[in-house]
Amino acid sequence: MPTVSRVAVCGGTHGNELAGIYLVREMLKKRADGTEPVSVVTVMSNPRAAQLCVRYVETDLNRCFTRAALSAPVSETSPYEMIRSQELNALLGPKASAQAVDLLCDLHNTTANTGLCLITYSDRDWICLHICKHLQREMASTPVRYVHFDIPLNEAYSLDSVGKHGFAMEIGPQPHGVVRSVIFSAMQEGVQLMMDWICQFNSGTLFEGGWVDVYTMVKNIDYPRDSETHVITAAVHPNLQDRDFCLLHPGDPMFLCFSGETLRYRGKEALYPFFINEGAYYEKGVALSLARKRRVQIPSVL
């Protein structure tokens, strides 16, 4: 496999997800001296949102990387994030071209209790899967999981889809607008381990094959809402809150209505919930996502 010679580390794609923002600021302080074995571009993706400590200024930047959004004509009056996504695509891509960075790691936080997740669009990208396995091996106190969204590249909407290989490194739980030292340290360690793996890979180290559990997103579930006002009528049930990646069985409690009633999971198949009660997803109509888990065999690579 060809070397991973150009890497991008992006933070502040959402301006209130602070671990990535502070990590990118720290990385930018350390000037590269040209002797690094891997060329790393460190980018503050949405500087205006980061300045205001908001998720986005006009529209969610991390939904602006579809083929359609990247090729849409933009002018000064276009939403800020539409202009910015095209700038980032020019800097780190273009997406789906030979000039794109080899690997793009986009740093995120979530209010959900997800631990560390590598979120990507492929379940057979051996580089991403091996990096995941490496983090799982080396990170003692943080659960590390591989989450897969089965969406074709053209429709892939997030920044990480710009690189030839890419993933979001998502760590929770952390409230938006807060940096928790344990979360910052985990993100710093995750990025360092990723860089270590890349250096070893580039220098010809053999990484043994094996198995990785892949969680493939199946569907989202919205909150129960009032049919007229659309206002939510329940909260995530205490039995489900913070239980990301614990198998949810048909009949398990899902929501506790303000009226006191319990609503249960009515699906036929037991699935793995994640992004349970993410603050930014209320406006997107998502209370939680559900995934199927399967073991994926990965080959040795060198």
Partner 1 sequence: MSSRTNISCLQEAKRVAIFGGTHGNEMSGITLVNMWIQNSAEIERNGLVVKPFISNPRAVEKCTRYIDTDLNRAFTPENLSAPDVEGLPYEVQRAKEINRMFGPKGSSDAYDAIFDLHNTTSNMGSTLILESSTDLFNLQMVHYIKKAMVPHTCSVLLNEHPQLKYSTTRSVAKHPIGLEVGPQPQGVLRSNVFESMRTILKHALDFIELFNSGVEFPPCTVDVFRVQERMDYPRDTNGNITAMVHPHLQDCDWEPLNRGDPMFLTFDGRTVLYEGANTVYPTFINEAAYYEKQQAFMTTCREILAAYAIRKACK
Question: Residue 63 gets which letter from DSSP?
Answer: G
Q: Are 202 and 38 in contact (CB under 8 A)?
A: yes
Which residue in 236, 248, 288, 291 binds partner 1 (CB under 8 A)?
Answer: 236
Please state the closest distance from residue 225 (CB atom) to partner 1, in A: 13
- Give the contact letters, 24-43, x = binds to partner 1 (CB under 8 A), - = no: -xx-----------------
Is 74 a binder of partner 1 (CB under 8 A)? no
Q: d(Cα 20, Cα 243) in Å, to the nearest integer?
A: 24
Which spans in 140-212 are helix H?
181-202
The verdict on whether 36 is a catalytic residue reads no
Stretch that binds partner 1, among 95-103, 134-142, 200-208, 274-282 (CB under 8 A): 274-282
Q: How far is the CB of 234 from partner 1 (least distance, A)?
A: 8
Candidates 26, 36, 81, 170; catalytic one = 170
Task: Name the segment binding partner 1 (CB under 8 A); options: 20-28, 160-168, 212-220, 265-273.
Answer: 20-28
Encode 259-269: b = buried (16+ Cβ within 10 Å), e = exposed.
Answer: eeeeeebebee
Task: Answer yes or no: are the C-beta atoms of 282 and 117 closer than 8 Å.
Answer: no
Asked, as a colleague might, if the bond just before 94 is cis with ω within 30 of 0, I would say: yes
Both tokens assigned to 102: 């080899």
Q: Which helix (H) or strand (E) holds 170?
A: strand 165-172
Candidate ranges 135-143, 189-197, 227-235, 291-299; the one touching partner 1 (CB under 8 A)? 227-235
At which residue do the structure tokens 């949810």 appear? 248
Per CB under 8 A, does 176 bind partner 1?
yes
Closest to partner 1 by CB, 3 or 241 = 241
Binding-site residues, please?
A: 14, 17, 108
The footprint of partner 1 on residues 123-162 (CB under 8 A) is: none
Cα–Cα distance measured from residue 276 to residue 269, given in angstroms and rounded to the nearest whole number: 18
| Nearest to 23, CA basis, from 158, 151, 184, 174 | 184
Q: Does 53 bind partner 1 (CB under 8 A)?
A: yes
Options 31-39, 114-122, 135-143, 181-189: segment touching partner 1 (CB under 8 A): 181-189
Q: Give the residue, chosen from 263, 279, 286, 292, that forms a contact with partner 1 under the rule CB under 8 A.
A: 279
CB atoms within 10 A of CB 300: 11
299 binds partner 1 (CB under 8 A): no
292 near partner 1, rule: CB under 8 A: no
Annotated binding site for Zn(2+): 14, 17, 108
Spatial CB neighbours of 35, under 8 Å, sequence gap ≥ 6 = none
- 70 vs 195, beta carbon nearer partner 1: 195
Contact (Cβ atoms closer than 8 angstroms) between residue 215 and residue 146: yes
Looking only at the bridges linking them, the beta strands covering 6-11 and 39-44 are parallel
Residues 98-117 that bind partner 1 (CB under 8 A): 111
Our CB check for partner 1 shows the closer of 189 and 213 to be 189
Residue 267 Cα distances to 176, 215, 221, 253, 264, angstroms: 31, 17, 11, 12, 9
Using rule CB under 8 A, residue 182 touches partner 1: yes
Catalog residues that contact partner 1 under the rule CB under 8 A. 22, 25-26, 53-54, 111, 173, 175-182, 184, 231-232, 235-238, 241, 256, 258, 277-280, 282-283
- Active-site amino acid positions: 170
